[in-house]
């Protein structure tokens, strides 16, 4: 029996694996109702328990179906993984019309060992201000972080990520007839990405050797770092001016060639989860030659990003979480897109062209205040890729979701950006 104070949580698509189903069980144990709408076969395999409804209709009819569902079931809270997928962006707006609480999950703003769980929106849709004084004021009520007291790293394995992703993708493909109108938000199909991963894994030893050679050439030189992001990431597709990472790479190399001191180099580092469908090394070398800096631009397909950032003069990023990794090390960072950490004084205030000759170092007292507020309001400790990490995430998320809420009148309205460039296989 659910008491009058109980809330009804509706889950949409989540991270691949059991996390959302485990969190739903934890919320039920606290006396709440937890429901799910499955949009594809991967959703169905990741939520094997009670409370699930399959949506088999068209995207055109999705808003009305969703509105009927939340009204008929008395939904009070919506939980979704990312707020820019077409189904999620639509649901987010409908939920706000009904004055539901919306909780958005993403991989952590600060990594590793954190997951983002933020009300209303994340990243470019975040309701957090960019005012440095606000963070300094809010942090006064929070305990300070001591480097020596930080908790040990949570176990995480690539194997578990591959298993979760493979299981979800296979289920989505095999159960496609049950969800005939579903189209992925990703620019490439699961099958095509799988082909890319097999190719990438087969070339791993070769790429590792080439990266070691390149690293040996650049590690003792003054250099800047550009961490590549995924073309499928909405941080690039929506929350940046570029639309894809190729355009961002060209923009950065062009600026570097024109404005960086002649004795500096640029290290371009591939994203570890890149599926291998784009020849980033070949593209980097071609652009470097085009702008006359072939001897100053280096590409690393497979190397420890922590070591690369730790030795660099500064980091150029669109809005990657590598930015916070660099800030943790006190490195200058310039942000080209929208990012929750794009706070003046935390990151470089001026343009990219002005960054190269005079990278602005972060105000570490301000960054410490920002980090503490971010952890307190938007992050939960744990991880998706180990039993220990999952248990921690579930416990911390359930506590965060069921504590007293801040009145909506005290919150800034989110901008609710949505994807204006649909994937190659368009939503119907």
Q: Is the pLDDT of residue 414 over 70?
A: no
Residue 423: band (very low, low, confident or very high) from pLDDT cuts 50, 70, 90: very low
Q: CA 268, CA 248: separation in Å to the nearest integer?
A: 12
Split at pLDDT 50, 70, 90, the class of 145 is low
Other Cβ atoms closer than 10 A to 168: 23
Q: What pLDDT sits at residue 417?
A: 46
The H or E element spanning position 103 is strand 101-107
- Which tens digits make up the pLDDT trace of 243-297? 899 999 999 999 999 999 999 999 999 999 888 888 999 999 999 999 999 999 9
Cβ atoms 86, 185 nearer than 8 A: yes
Instruction: Name the CA radius of gyration of the chain, rounded.
Output: 22
Q: What's the predicted TM-score (pTM) here? A: 0.86
Residue showing tokens 């639509």: 90
| All domains in the chain, ordered by first residue | 203-369 (3.40.50)
pLDDT of 183: 87
Tokens matching residue 27: 């919320």
Q: Is the pLDDT of residue 161 over 60?
A: yes
**What's the chain's average pLDDT?**
89
């Amino acid at each position: 029996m659910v008491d009058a104070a109980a809330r009804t949580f509706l889950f949409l698509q989540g991270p691949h694996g059991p996390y959302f189903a485990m969190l739903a069980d934890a919320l039920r144990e606290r006396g709440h109702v937890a429901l799910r709408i499955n949009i594809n076969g991967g959703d169905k395999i990741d939520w094997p328990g009670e409370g699930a409804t399959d949506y088999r209709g068209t995207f055109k009819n999705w808003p009305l179906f969703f509105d009927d569902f939340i009204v008929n079931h008395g939904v009070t809270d919506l939980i979704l993984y990312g707020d820019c997928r077409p189904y999620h962006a639509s649901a987010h707006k409908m939920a706000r019309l009904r004055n539901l609480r919306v909780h958005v999950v993403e991989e952590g703003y600060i990594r590793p060992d954190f997951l983002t769980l933020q009300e209303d929106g994340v990243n470019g849709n975040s309701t957090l201000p960019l005012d440095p004084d606000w963070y300094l004021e809010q942090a006064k009520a929070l305990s300070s972080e001591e480097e020596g007291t930080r908790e040990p790293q949570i176990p995480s394995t690539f194997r578990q990520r591959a298993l979760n992703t493979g299981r979800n993708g296979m289920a989505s493909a095999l159960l496609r007839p049950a969800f005939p109108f579903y189209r992925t938000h990703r620019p490439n199909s699961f099958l095509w990405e799988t082909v890319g991963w097999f190719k990438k894994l087969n070339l791993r030893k070769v790429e590792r050797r080439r990266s070691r050679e390149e690293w040996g050439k650049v590690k003792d030189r003054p250099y800047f770092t550009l961490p590549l992001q995924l073309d499928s990431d909405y941080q690039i597709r929506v929350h940046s001016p570029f639309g894809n990472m190729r355009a961002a790479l060209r923009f950065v190399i062009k600026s570097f060639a024109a404005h960086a001191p002649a004795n500096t180099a640029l290290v371009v580092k591939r994203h570890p989860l890149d599926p291998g469908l784009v020849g980033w090394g070949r593209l980097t070398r071609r652009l470097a030659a085009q702008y006359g800096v072939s001897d100053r631009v280096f590409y690393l397909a497979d190397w420890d990003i922590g070591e690369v950032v730790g030795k660099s003069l500064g980091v150029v990023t669109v809005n990657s979480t590598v930015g916070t990794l660099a800030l943790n090390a006190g490195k200058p960072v310039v942000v080209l897109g929208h990012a929750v950490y794009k706070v003046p004084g935390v990151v470089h205030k001026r343009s990219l062209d002005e960054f190269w000759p005079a990278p602005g170092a972060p105000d570490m007292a301000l960054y410490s205040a920002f980090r503490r507020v971010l952890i307190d309001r938007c992050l939960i400790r744990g991880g998706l890729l180990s039993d220990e990490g999952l248990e921690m995430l579930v416990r911390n998320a359930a506590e965060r979701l069921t504590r007293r809420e801040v009145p909506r009148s005290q919150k800034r309205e989110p901008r609710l950006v949505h994807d204006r460039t649909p994937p190659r296989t368009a939503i119907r």
